[in-house]
Structures are given as C-alpha cells and as structure tokens.
C-alpha cells in the first residue's frame, strides 16, 4: 500500500475565512491556473476568462466567498499575505471597472456577474467541490482546466491523484492509526517525536519548530482579535458577535494591554469549572467569528472547524501549565498527525462527509494532542481521538444561508468541549479494554459519509438551512 506524505503544514495552513474548501481551495486553484498560463507563456495572450462553479461550490459559493476567493487568486494575491481589510475595496474595483489584472500583470475585461457562473444543478463525479477555468486566447485558441477543492485547502487538478506530486519519502510512513502506533512502539518515541522525525524529510527541526510557533502566533492573534471585536457578522443573517461581550464579562475589572497580560488576567480568575468552560467557549467563538468575517485564520484542519484546536490549545496554555514553546509545538505536531490519518482514511471535506468531517476531525485532533500533552500514552492519545470522533458520527453540514455562521460557530465550542472530555476519559481509562479503535471509527465515518444524503453535505439544501425561517437581508 502506498503512503501519502502529508506535512504538518499541509494540515495547518494560514489563510482567509470563511471556508477552507470553498474559499482557500478555490483561491489556490486560481493561483495554480494562472501559474499554468505563465508556464505556457499564455498569460499575456488571454483575451477572455470564464469561471464555472459546480455542485457545493455553486450552492454555497456566495455565502462562503468562493467568487471573491477566485478573483483574488486570479489577480495573483496570496491568502497568507493578502491584507484582509482590502478585500471589499478590491472586489469593488473589479466590479465597477469590469477589469481584472490576471496574474497581477495582464489586464483583461472581466465582469464577475457574467464571467463567474454558478451551476447549481450540476456536479462533477470526482468531488462536489469543482471549478473550471476557461480562457480564450488572442489567436482564437482556448484552454480549459478543472480543479477540485477536496477539503482543508487541498486542491487537485482533474485526472491528478491527491498527493501524486509529492515524492517525499518518510522514515516512518503512516496511513493508519495502527501504523502510527507501530512506529511508536518500535522506536519508543511519542507521537509528536515520530511526526517530527518525518518532518525532517522536508526541512530542519529548527524550521519546523519555527513554523509551528508561527502557526500558533496566527491562532493566538485570531483568538485575541476575536475576543475584542464587536458588531454583526457579514452576509445578511444579522448574527451578533458574542466573544467580545463574553470576554468582557469574564475578565471583569482586570487590566491588560496585550495578549500576554490578557492571558495572565484570565489565569488570575481561578479554576472553577464554569469559569473554564466559559473561556473555552469564548476562545472558540472568537476564532470562528473572525473566520466568518473573512479574517486571518489557520485551517485546523478546515476553516469551518478552525476554532476547535486553538480553543483547546489555549485551554491547555491557560489552565493546564502548557505555556511553553516546546509544549505548544508538541501539541500541534500530534494534532496534525491525527488529522492526516483522517484525511487519508476518510475525508476532511464537509462537501463529502458532512460536518463530522470538519468539527469531528478537529475534535479528534485536539483530543489526541491534549491527551499526549497531559502525559497520556500513545494509545491513550489515539483512544481520545476515537472517543471524540465516535460522538460526532453522522453530524450534518447544513449552513443557514450558505454562510459559515449558524450552526458552524457554536459547533466549534461543542467540538472543543468534546475534545477535552474525550481526553479526560482516555486519561482515566485503560486502552486495553476499549472496544472501538481509531481506525475502525475512521472507516465508520467514511461509510457514514458515503451513505449521507447530499443535502446534508454543505449544500444548504437540508437540515437547519431549510427549516429555520431566517430571511437574508443581503447576500
């Protein structure tokens, strides 16, 4: 069996909300397409461009910002560095001028209303998140390429297998939880140590460590920003942001000026169960309110589930003596490995598997990471991941109005709490007596995904999306 090499930086990507599969993925696909045009020396020869969105990308594309992401990618902007406060101005310029600077250098006529087509009734067989780029060249020739956004910001081109362009050979190849446990038992290494050894195939340990700390920097900045931003979320549902109000209530009269002094103020509030529970919810709300506002987030492993792992890691830092760089890096390494096993054995795309593939996977990742960080064995960590996913099986993805807001934001709080509970259960249990393995629950999750009706797979055609009578004032 071949082993797909997935780095921790594939599982944790810095980007822009609100969706990894509907925003970040199409953005990356547009970048790839413009790169192809440049490689073929065709970029300056493009006369006309059209974008076709299929399936789930069409049905929830407006609410997820797919059209915005595609335009930014075609303009040569990068989701890691693009200043998110400039999105509205950039879109306004393209819409009013009906011009697009392809690849950042070649100006073409482009009207988003006419040249981005939402094919609501069509879906391609490989994956429901499909988009096609069509260009007409000055000499009369044409070129078309189709890409699939397969979840978590991963993108594959038509007739290209996921991971086929990755030729990295890992010292500890892993596709399943059993294989991960095998390497841990054979070497005596912890999960995060096995992952770190594999990361050496891409870069030095110092580079991996620096990259992981940068991932946490973006996560923590997102939490802090979300805890201090009030108002309503965009999109027309008039959803009120809650994290800032909850933060203010919990922090009371304590003074602080930055993240570190804020963290100290939180810690001085005590360790009562209700107090900690409220803070975990606040952390998760903060991240996903930022995500819903086209803010800077980390896919973990997706944008829709971006709040779970930061919330649990922030909990570990604030209330469990996890505030050291080593502990933060170890937590993220373990979480990433569990996420990659889910991606290989099932899916991390809600358009393929419903919300179990996003909140469920992120909860399992966080549960495993917290368990190992709290001194649990490798088997206890995998047991925690299994428990977390077992109690997300069958969760549907039914975003109201096609927006990553209701029920998505609150689901991150639930996923974070379930991760902590799963970790506690595993730490107080003996894995020898467990009846369900992580690999078995991953297989079950995938079979559940295949059986799930498409209206519960990020299409807004079923569930809360059709039964809650909330009218959109704008889209």
Domain 19-157: which CATH number of 3.30.1330.90, 3.50.50.60, 1.10.10.10, 3.40.309.10: 3.30.1330.90
E-strand spans in 122-279?
129-137, 142-151, 154-157
Question: What mean pLDDT do residues 5-20 have?
Answer: 95
pLDDT class of 471 with cuts at 50, 70, 90: low
Query: Furthest-apart CA pair in the chain: how many Å?
Result: 71
pLDDT class of 159 with cuts at 50, 70, 90: confident
Domain boundaries, the chain: 19-157, 177-467
pLDDT at 475: 33
Give CA–CA dist 16/79, Å, rounded.
Answer: 6
Question: What mean pLDDT do residues 63-77 have?
Answer: 96
Quick: pLDDT tens for 191-203: 999 999 999 999 9
Q: Which two tokens stand for residue 178?
A: 């059993």
Q: Which two tokens stand for residue 385?
A: 């991941």
Is residue 373 within 8 Å of residue 334, measured between CB atoms? Answer: yes
Question: What mean pLDDT do residues 144-173 have?
Answer: 85
pLDDT at 470: 66
User: Kind of pairing, strands 46-54 and 116-119?
Assistant: parallel
Q: What angle do CA 68, 110, 130 make, to 5 degrees?
A: 50
pTM: 0.94
> In this structure, how many other beta carbons lie within 10 angstroms of the beta carbon of residue 256?
13
Give CA–CA dist 240/219, Å, rounded.
Answer: 22
Closest listed residue to residue 205, CA positions, set 188, 187, 189, 192: 192
């Amino acid at each position: 069996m071949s082993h797909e090499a997935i780095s921790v930086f594939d599982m944790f990507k810095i980007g822009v909300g609100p969706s990894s599969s509907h925003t970040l993925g199409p953005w990356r696909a547009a970048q790839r397409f413009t790169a192809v045009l440049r490689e073929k020396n065709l970029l300056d020869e493009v006369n006309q461009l059209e974008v076709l969105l299929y399936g789930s990308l069409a049905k929830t594309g407006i609410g997820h910002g797919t059209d915005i992401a595609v335009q930014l990618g075609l303009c040569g902007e990068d989701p890691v560095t693009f200043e998110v406060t400039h999105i509205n101005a950039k879109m306004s310029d393209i819409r009013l001028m009906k011009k697009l600077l392809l690849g950042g250098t070649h100006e073409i006529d482009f009207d988003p209303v006419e040249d981005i087509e939402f094919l609501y009734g069509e879906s391609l067989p490989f994956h429901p998140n499909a988009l096609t780029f069509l260009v007409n060249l000055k000499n009369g020739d044409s070129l078309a390429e189709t890409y699939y956004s397969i979840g978590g910001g991963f993108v594959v081109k038509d007739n290209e297998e996921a991971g086929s362009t990755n030729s990295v050979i890992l010292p500890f190849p892993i596709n399943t939880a059993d294989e991960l446990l095998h390497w841990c038992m054979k070497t005596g290494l912890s999960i995060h140590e096995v992952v770190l050894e594999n990361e050496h195939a891409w870069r030095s340990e110092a580079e991996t460590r620096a990259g992981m700390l940068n991932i946490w920097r973006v996560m923590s900045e997102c939490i802090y920003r979300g805890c201090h931003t009030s108002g309503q979320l965009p999109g027309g549902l008039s959803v009120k942001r809650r994290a800032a109000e909850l933060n203010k209530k919990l922090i009371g009269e304590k003074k602080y000026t930055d993240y570190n002094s804020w963290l100290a103020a939180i810690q001085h509030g005590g360790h009562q169960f209700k107090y900690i529970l409220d803070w975990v919810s606040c952390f998760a709300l903060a991240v996903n309110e930022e995500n819903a506002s086209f803010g800077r987030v980390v896919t973990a492993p997706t944008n829709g589930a971006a709040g779970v792992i930061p919330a649990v890691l922030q909990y570990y830092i604030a209330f469990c003596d996890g505030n050291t760089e080593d502990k933060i890096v170890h937590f993220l390494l373990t979480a990433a490995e569990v996420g990659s096993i889910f991606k290989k054995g099932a899916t991390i795309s809600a358009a393929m598997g419903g919300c179990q593939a996003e909140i469920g996977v992120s909860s399992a990742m966080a549960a495993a990471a917290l368990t190992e960080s709290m001194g649990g064995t490798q088997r206890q960590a995998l047991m925690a991941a299994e428990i977390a996913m077992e109690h997300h099986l069958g969760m549907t993805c039914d975003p109201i109005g096609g927006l990553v807001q209701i029920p998505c934001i609150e689901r991150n709080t639930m996923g974070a709490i379930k991760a902590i509970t799963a970790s506690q259960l595993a730490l107080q249990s003996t894995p020898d007596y467990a009846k369900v393995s992580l690999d078995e629950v991953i297989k079950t999750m995938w079979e559940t995904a295949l059986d799930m009706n498409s209206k519960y797979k990020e299409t807004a055609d079923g569930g809360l999306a059709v039964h809650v009578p909330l009218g959109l004032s704008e889209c």
